[in-house]
């Protein structure tokens, strides 16, 4: 039996200024895809909201101004240059962007795309931040105001003999994300993210931001016997410092490749897809070792006082 391997790349992006023309951003993304392909990658993961600045960091009251950040014709008009490069280099890519539907719904979205078109779409479920401006915060996080909760579930799609799922940024912190993908047989989780160094309402964890970023992805990879490809927006973007740390993580939980800058950078690794099979047979065999029938209703196990008030 032939070993199933796939050479994958996490594309890290340095800052994208608010004033950056779309054609310049696309030129960067195409150049990075070619760099990844030159290194042997046939599967590429871009960050969350890879086509624009991370605009939820700013209050934008005018809807027409806000909608300039959203895609209406994805994938053909929006990423046609990347699709052409992907067709030329036989690459499949996953990319994050802001989506507005024909009905006017707004989503933080990621899609799997190859040279022929879109293969699958995911809309972010775990939206962080707030719907309204927080005047005391050093930067805003207005995702709850700019996006609706995703309504497509967690799709898993076969790509290049691998079962691939998608998640976006804050999704990576929730164990349900990985478990829902793993229960569908996902072998790769693609996770684009934009994560500030500073947490405005909990500054005590700022020193842990890099650690917790990798911790969540490594735990998800290990506990679900899957590869995780995390692709970041990095560096100081319009005054907001973002962490980077793009990484490719094995089912063992080990980081096998990692970015070392906060600029545009391509992180490449050959991944052994059969490692998922081996770990799922010997370490985390869901069929033989999980006992969901004994867990009981979650509501019965929860303390009704949760979340605890600041003082009791």
Which of the residues are catalytic?
A: 48, 124, 169
Alpha-carbon dihedral sign for residues 237, 167, 274, 163: negative
- Map the chain to HEC letters: CCCCEEEEEEEEECCCCCCCCHHHHHHHHHHHHHHHHHCCCCEEECCCCCCCCCHHHCCCCCHHHHHCCEECCCCHHHHHHHHHHHHHHCCEEEEEEEEECCCCCEEEEEEEEECCEEEEEEECCCCCCCCCCCCCCCCCCCHHHHCCCCCCCCCEEEECCEEEEEEEHHHHHCHHHHHHHHCCCCCEEEEEEECECCCCCCHHHHHHHHHHHHHHHHHHHHHCCCEEEEEEEEEEECCEEEECCCEEECCCCCEEEECCCCCCEEEEEEEECHHHHHHHHHCCCHHHHCCHHHCCCHHHHCCCCCCCCCCC
Task: Please give the Cα distance from 227 to 224 (Å, whole number).
Answer: 9
| 231, 46 contact by CB (below 8 A) | yes
Phi-psi category of residue 50: left, alpha or beta, with phi > 0 → left and psi -120 to 50 → alpha: alpha
């Amino acid at each position: 039996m032939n070993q199933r391997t796939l050479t994958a790349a996490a594309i890290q992006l340095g800052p994208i200024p608010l004033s950056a023309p779309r054609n310049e951003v696309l030129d960067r993304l195409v150049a990075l895809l070619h760099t990844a392909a030159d290194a042997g990658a046939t599967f590429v993961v871009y960050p969350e909201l890879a086509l624009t600045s991370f605009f939820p960091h700013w209050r934008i009251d005018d809807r027409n101004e806000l909608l300039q950040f959203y895609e209406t014709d994805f994938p053909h008009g929006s990423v046609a240059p990347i699709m052409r490069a992907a067709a030329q280099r036989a690459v499949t890519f996953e990319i994050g962007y802001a989506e507005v539907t024909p009905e006017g719904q707004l989503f933080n979205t990621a899609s799997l795309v190859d040279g022929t078109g879109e293969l699958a779409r995911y809309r972010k479920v775990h939206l962080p931040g707030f719907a309204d401006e927080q005047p005391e915060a050093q930067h805003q996080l207005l995702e709850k105001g700019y996006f609706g909760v995703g309504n497509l579930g967690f799709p898993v799609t076969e790509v290049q003999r691998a079962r691939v799922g998608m998640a976006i940024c804050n999704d990576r912190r929730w164990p349900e994300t990985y478990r829902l993908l793993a229960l569908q047989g996902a072998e790769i989780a693609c996770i684009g993210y934009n994560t500030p160094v500073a947490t405005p309402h909990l500054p005590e964890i700022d020193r842990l931001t890099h650690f917790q970023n990798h911790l969540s992805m490594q735990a998800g990879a290990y506990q679900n016997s899957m590869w995780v490809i995390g692709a970041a927006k990095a560096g100081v973007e319009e005054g907001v410092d973002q962490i980077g740390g793009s990484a490719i993580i094995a089912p063992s939980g080990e980081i096998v490749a990692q970015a070392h800058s906060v600029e545009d950078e391509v992180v490449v690794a050959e991944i052994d897809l059969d490692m998922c099979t081996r770990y799922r047979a010997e370490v985390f065999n869901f069929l033989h070792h999980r006992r969901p029938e004994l867990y009981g209703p979650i509501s019965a196990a929860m303390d009704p006082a949760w979340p605890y008030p600041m003082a009791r």
